[in-house]
């Protein structure tokens, strides 16, 4: 999927525009998972084309000075990782020196750049906006993120410039992405996996510039490793930037079936690891947590159990995820990691017959029907799995709008209990029948 990055100095209206773009989409995903994280990263679609939007500015906290120091890196990052860049400026303020700095970088870029003048809320501002020709980026789009004017034309233009839909891979090999924070041990893990060259079967050029799929045949499993560009790319951007590893992960996650989320046991399941975790969950990808460097942890009787319990608390409500403790250094449980990823892959592509589903689920529902609301009783008549790449279930009933989140979660948990969807986000929809 294509990525569009929004860059610009603080207060020009990036978040306002971003929120407008992803709103509709958020409404859908929130209804399912009840989770809103990574609000600077979202999906949207326009005229049937889906793409991801990243508000890079959202990651910079601090004064203008701080921003000024970061802006080069930020823009460079957007250029590296995105398929198109929206450069947002502010009609109210006119051109500032920071705008000029950004324009200077963008003028050298061959990717589609969209200069967007925001806060054009009235006719006077249309006049004011002319000065932005001076940025040397050619034509621009006048929009008002607050009232939405001009955003349609902008989106038309963006969608037109995005790369064509990626072809669907013909072979159905699992696609694994190794993601995580810098220094977690991702490269070591990949090196340990590929070990000797003979395990590499072929290099398939990725469908996008940044992602290279490499086919492996290891431990009796065949899989594609979705490599993040960042793993091999020289470190242009300082590694400790919060958004950098998130953006790198975005690409890898979108191209995979299962994320192998590597974390450093000495650092734990911290905020940034959680960001990546929720990113994968939001994208409905399979997930395996690999707690690496287990050799460095001093162990007492319950160390592993406690460690695991702590991670699961942070993962709520999506806790049905395998956690493998490994040491890449000692080549410990690397096989287990891959084996688990293969299982998650199978769970994700599992298709359950409608007859079987109803046979199992209807008695469960009968036993504990949805609680009545305002004297209305919901009658669920029929369940079916939707023909999507990841598990989604539609429950047909008379009054879908009366089924609340806790009951949907109950249904999800029952599905998990009876059919095993470990490591896989499961979507439950109520439909009118």
* Alpha carbon distance 293, 266 (integer Å): 7
Among 183, 349, 414, 422, binds ligand GDP (CB under 6 A): 183
Among 12, 159, 173, 342, binds ligand GDP (CB under 6 A): 12
Which residues fall within 8 angstroms of residue 383, CB to CB, at 6 or more apart?
A: 354, 357, 358, 361, 362, 393, 394, 395, 396
* Alpha carbon distance 19, 14 (integer Å): 9
Q: Using CB under 6 A, which residues numbered 378 to 407 contact ligand GDP?
A: none
Check residue 96 for interaction with ligand GDP (CB under 6 A).
no
Binding pattern for the stretch 139-158 against ligand GDP, x by CB under 6 A and - elsewhere: -----xxx------------
Check residue 57 for interaction with ligand GDP (CB under 6 A).
yes
Cα angle value 85/182/338 (rounded, 5°): 105
DSSP 101: H
Q: Using CB under 6 A, which residues numbered 342 to 371 contact ligand GDP?
A: none
Among 40, 43, 119, 248, binds ligand GDP (CB under 6 A): 119
Residue 5 in contact with residue 81, Cβ under 8 Å?
yes
Check residue 187 for interaction with ligand GDP (CB under 6 A).
yes
57 is an annotated ligand-binding site residue: yes
- Torsions phi, psi for 159 (to 5 deg): -60, -35
Check residue 228 for interaction with ligand GDP (CB under 6 A).
no
Per-residue exposure over 13-49, b if at least 16 CB sit within 10 Å of its own CB, e if not: bbbbbbebbbeeebeebeebbeeeebebbbbbebeeb
Check residue 285 for interaction with ligand GDP (CB under 6 A).
no
Instruction: Concatenate the DSSP letters of all residues of 163-183 into one string.
Output: PPPPPPPSS---EEEEEESTT
Check residue 184 for interaction with ligand GDP (CB under 6 A).
yes
Check residue 16 for interaction with ligand GDP (CB under 6 A).
yes
Among 50, 72, 101, 121, binds ligand GDP (CB under 6 A): 121
CB of 371 to ligand GDP, least distance (A): 40
- 160: tokens are 């037109």
* Alpha carbon distance 332, 334 (integer Å): 6
Check residue 66 for interaction with ligand GDP (CB under 6 A).
no
Among 94, 112, 163, 182, binds ligand GDP (CB under 6 A): 182
CB of 107 to ligand GDP, least distance (A): 21
Residue 211 in contact with residue 252, Cβ under 8 Å?
yes
Residue entry with tokens 């971003």: 18
* Alpha carbon distance 89, 140 (integer Å): 10
Q: Using CB under 6 A, which residues numbered 247 to 276 contact ligand GDP?
A: none
3-state helix, strand, coil in the chain (%, to 5): 40, 25, 35
128 is an annotated ligand-binding site residue: no
Check residue 118 for interaction with ligand GDP (CB under 6 A).
yes
Pick the stretch among 9-17, 161-169, 306-314, 369-377 that binds ligand GDP (CB under 6 A): 9-17
Q: Using CB under 6 A, which residues numbered 300 to 329 contact ligand GDP?
A: 327-329
Q: Give whichever of 18 and 395 is closer to ligand GDP, judged by the CB atom.
A: 18
Sheet containing 286-292, strands listed edge to edge, beginning at the edge strand earlier in sequence: 200-204, 212-218, 221-227, 175-180, 258-264, 286-292, 323-325
Check residue 286 for interaction with ligand GDP (CB under 6 A).
no
293 is an annotated ligand-binding site residue: yes
Check residue 185 for interaction with ligand GDP (CB under 6 A).
yes
Check residue 20 for interaction with ligand GDP (CB under 6 A).
no
Tell me how many residues contact ligand GDP (CB under 6 A): 30
Q: Give whichever of 248 and 408 is closer to ligand GDP, judged by the CB atom.
A: 248
Cα 98 to chain centroid, rounded = 30
Q: Give whichever of 25 and 49 is closer to ligand GDP, judged by the CB atom.
A: 25
* Alpha carbon distance 151, 283 (integer Å): 25
Among 73, 163, 188, 194, binds ligand GDP (CB under 6 A): 188
Name the residues that contact ligand GDP, by CB under 6 A. Answer: 8, 10-16, 57, 118-119, 121, 144-146, 180, 182-188, 292-293, 295-296, 327-329
Binding site per annotation, positions for GTP: 8-15, 55-59, 118-121, 180-187, 227-231, 292-295
């Amino acid at each position: 999927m294509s990525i569009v990055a929004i860059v610009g100095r603080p207060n020009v209206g990036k978040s306002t525009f971003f929120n407008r773009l992803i709103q509709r989409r958020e409404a859908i995903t929130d209804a399912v998972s009840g989770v809103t994280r990574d609000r600077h990263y979202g999906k949207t679609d326009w005229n049937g084309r889906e793409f991801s939007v990243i508000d890079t500015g959202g990651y910079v906290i601090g004064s203008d000075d701080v921003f000024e120091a970061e802006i080069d890196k930020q823009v460079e990052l957007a250029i590296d990782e995105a398929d198109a860049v929206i450069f947002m400026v502010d009609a109210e303020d006119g051109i500032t020196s920071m705008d000029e700095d950004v324009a200077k970088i963008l003028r050298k870029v061959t990717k589609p750049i969209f200069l967007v003048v925001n806060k054009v809320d009235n006719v006077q501002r249309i006049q004011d906006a002319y000065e932005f020709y001076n940025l040397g980026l050619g034509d621009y789009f006048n929009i008002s993120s607050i009232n939405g004017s001009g955003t349609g034309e902008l989106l038309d233009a963006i969608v037109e410039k995005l790369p064509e839909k990626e072809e669907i891979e013909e072979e159905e090999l699992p696609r694994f992405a190794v993601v995580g924070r810098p220094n977690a041990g991702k490269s070591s893990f990949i090196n340990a996996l590929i070990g000797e060259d003979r395990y590499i079967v072929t290099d398939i050029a990725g469908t996008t510039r940044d992602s290279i799929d490499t086919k492996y045949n290891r431990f009796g499993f065949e899989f594609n490793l979705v490599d993040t560009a960042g793993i091999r790319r020289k470190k242009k951007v300082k590694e400790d930037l919060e958004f950098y590893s998130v953006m790198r992960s975005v690409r890898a996650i979108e191209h995979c079936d299962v994320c192998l989320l590597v974390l450093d046991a000495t650092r734990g399941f911290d905020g940034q690891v959680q960001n990546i975790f929720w990113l994968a969950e939001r994208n409905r990808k399979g997930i395996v947590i690999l707690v690496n460097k287990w050799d460095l942890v001093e162990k007492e009787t319950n160390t592993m159990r406690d460690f695991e319990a702590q991670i699961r608390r942070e993962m709520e409500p999506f806790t049905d995820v395998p956690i493998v403790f490994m040491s890449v250094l000692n080549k410990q449980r690397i096989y287990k990691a891959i084996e688990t990823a293969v299982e998650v892959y199978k769970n994700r592509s599992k298709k359950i017959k409608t007859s079987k589903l109803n046979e199992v689920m209807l008695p469960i529902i009968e036993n504990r029907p949805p609680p009545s609301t305002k004297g209305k009783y919901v009658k669920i008549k029929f369940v079916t799995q939707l023909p999507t790449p990841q598990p989604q279930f539609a429950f047909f009933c008379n009054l879908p709008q009366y089924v609340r989140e806790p009951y949907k979660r109950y249904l999800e948990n029952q599905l998990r209990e009876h059919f095993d969807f470990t490591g896989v986000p499961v979507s439950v929809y109520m439909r009118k029948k």
